Amino acid sequence: MSLTKENKLRIEVVDGAKAIFNKGLVEAGEGNVSIRNGRKEELFITPSFNQYSTLKKDEIVHLSFDGTPLSTGKLPSTEVKMHIAIYKSRPKVQSVI
């Protein structure tokens, strides 16, 4: 069974978050990871109150660049506005940590 593009992006966010945690670059819930959804004005971002050691793809929050939630469940990181501002001002940027 092949993964959807959305699930692949969610997994990339989880993998990135776990990598920075496992390398000791952040504590369990510090920092945030996001990824742009291709050419769309959307992103996937780690949730608020996250624990990187147990983070799952279904906990990743999907939002439009205007802040509209495109998924249900967790709240996005409180730094989501900064991530969106970076994506808007730097169209070639594909991920923010």
Active site residue ranges = 79
E strands, 1-97, in order: 34-36, 42-45, 61-64, 95-96
List the structure tokens of 91. Answer: 């169209």
Q: Please, what is the Cα angle at 5 between 21 and 66, to 5 degrees?
A: 80
Neighbours of 10 (CB within 10 A): 22
Could you give the CA distance from residue 44 to residue 92 in angstroms, rounded to a whole number? 16
